[in-house]
Amino acid sequence: MSSTTQVATFGGGCFWCIDAAFRRVNGVLTVSSGYTGGETNNPTYDSVCSGTTGHAEVVKIEFDATVVSFETLLAMFFTLHDATQLNRQGNDIGTQYRSVVYYHDEAQLKQTNEMIAQLQSHVAEPIVTEVSPATTYYPAEHYHQDYYNENPQQGYCSILIAPKLHKFETVFKEFLTEQLI
């Protein structure tokens, strides 16, 4: 990693949607779906979905901070999911779907807490996003990587992810790559 490359780790429901959105952002170098925040070493999708490992479905993003800031990525993250839903996003229910920011340094911690406070002043329900230090990250199985782009006609993708991506692309058009995937 170069000195301008940073890492962000976000969980906001099923990782397929978050993964698909961040792959479209200028300055994002890599996106990986995976698991973090749990107690079990080398968790699998099945074990995480059981709710017994404590892991969240997350995306780990490497980005060029000279092109896109962590604060901008945070704003994007909070647009992609409902931070007032505890341990769920829509019909995806369980602790693995919790809203969470795993911070990698004190600057990310400060920016995350400031953004949550700012957002909270605009919504009636409490924001339940967990803010925790980054822990061991485990990449998800290969078939979960870039799932939306590999399976755009799959029902979950076309019914749930596509509309979220449209909203995301509308709000953050100036930050997206010229050629959307």
Cα 6 from Cα 84, distance rounded (Å): 27
Which DSSP symbol is given to 69?
-
Cα 130 from Cα 127, distance rounded (Å): 9
Give the pair of three-digit tokens for residue 53.
Answer: 């490992």
The amino acid at 109: L
Q: How far apart are the first and last CA of the chain?
A: 25
State the catalytic residue, choosing from 14, 17, 49, 157.
14
Active site residue 157: no
Annotated catalytic sites, by residue? Answer: 14
